[in-house]
Amino acid sequence: MPKFDFSALLPVSNIASSTLKIDTTAIAAIASTRSISSRLGTLIALSGSAVSIPKSNYASLIPETGIAAITRAQGALVAGLPVYSKMLGGFRTDLFTGVRPQIDLTATLQPLLELFRSFDWDSITKPLRVPDNWPDDVHDRLPELLEVVNRDGIPAAWVPRVDVLTLLLNATDGDERSEVLVEHRDEILEDCSNWLDDLCDPVLNSVLPIAREVLDACHDGYWKVGAISAVQVVHSVVESLHWVSDRQRVAKHHVLTMDTPYSRMLEQAARAPLVLFYDDWNPLSGKPRPAHLTRHVVSHRLGEDQVNDRNCIVAVMLMASLLVTVYQLDLGQKELAA
């Protein structure tokens, strides 16, 4: 499954990358002819053949320092010309004496820079910083998304497909969302399988075979067995990433909020269902037994209510969503590097 390069979507100001460079191939080719003097004049006049702008993020041209960078580049261009006389071997290097380009790069590129500055880059890149299963208007529907992942503990990153996720966002309450999950369980299972079938990540290799067997069990109708195993896969991945799993701190670390930066929204949306997942329960507490999926109850107080149709689907979705997010964002590699 192709991996999205999310880091390339974030605007970067890299002044060094905007420095203009001399095309040495063009210079050498011109030097090999008898008409080097006249062609050098053509080379200077036609800056497109002698000067190349590195292929990079256009956002690097937007900062206020852009004009200053170009001015410095002009100086570097002028200073660099004499050096090329050493590269021409036996050719007449005196032809280059006193040659200075008469190109006003600042005036030439300033309209382009002004155009880039006028773009609303945040609006342009927002749609590129979300999973491909999120609807186009998801940024206007953050309150509904927060309800889905935080209050109901239903995964929304990568799975389910956009049509099913839209139904979840349109639902009025948790009961209606549960009905959507059960009604579309086959499509959800297919989405999970499509992602995990060819997923490959060194950090996840120990659990991926088990995850695929979980999906096989569900395809064969053994949803309860699959769900219980999926819970263990999720907890294993969380532990391997050294993420918080105790009830006292999960909300602080995993909840998705309206203030979550767009650069972290994808990861936080994948983490958010973990808040309910790590809810615990003690029968002596006097609190009602959780109806939502919880790792603690599945592991220590397992009952039919914890592996009902709705919770089984959530368990499998959470497993797939977490695995794909770890893969797409290289979360495991970052953890190993730390």
| Domain end point (choices 99, 121, 143) | 121
Classify the C-alpha dihedral 165-184-4-233 as positive or negative.
positive
pLDDT at 9 over 50: no
40 part of a folded domain:
yes
Classify the C-alpha dihedral 39-41-43-46 as positive or negative.
negative
What is the number of residues in the chain?
Answer: 338
57 and 205 part of one domain: no
314 part of a folded domain:
yes
Q: Which two structure tokens, joined as six digits, stand for 176?
A: 């209606």
22 and 167 part of one domain: no
ω before 111 within 30° of 0 (cis)?
A: no
Q: What is the mean pLDDT of the chain?
A: 77
215 and 91 part of one domain: no
33 and 160 part of one domain: no
Residue with tokens 């000067």: 51
Its pTM stands at: 0.66
115 and 145 part of one domain: no
201 and 274 part of one domain: yes
Count of domains forming the chain = 2
Task: Provide, rounded to the nearest whole percent, the portion of the chain with pLDDT above 70.
Answer: 64
pLDDT tens, 160-214? Answer: 999 999 999 999 999 999 999 999 999 999 999 999 998 998 889 999 999 999 9
189 and 266 part of one domain: yes
Classify the C-alpha dihedral 203-205-210-214 as positive or negative.
positive
288 part of a folded domain:
yes
1 part of a folded domain:
no
Task: Provide, rounded to the nearest whole percent, the portion of the chain with pLDDT above 90.
Answer: 55
Give residue 256's domain range. 130-337
36 part of a folded domain:
yes
Helix (H, G, I), strand (E, B) or coil at 21: strand
pLDDT tens, 139-166? Answer: 899 999 999 999 999 999 999 999 999 9
Of the candidates 218, 316, 221, the residue with the CA atom closest to the CA atom of residue 273: 316
136 and 39 part of one domain: no
pLDDT at 26 over 90: no
Per-residue b/e over 225-258, b at no fewer than 16 CB within 10 Å?
bbbbbbbbbbbebbebbebbbeeeebeeebbbee
148 and 228 part of one domain: yes
Q: Read off the pLDDT of each residue in 263-279 and give the average, rounded to a whole number.
A: 96
Distance CA 83, CA 73 (A): 16
35 and 85 part of one domain: yes
pLDDT at 89 over 50: no
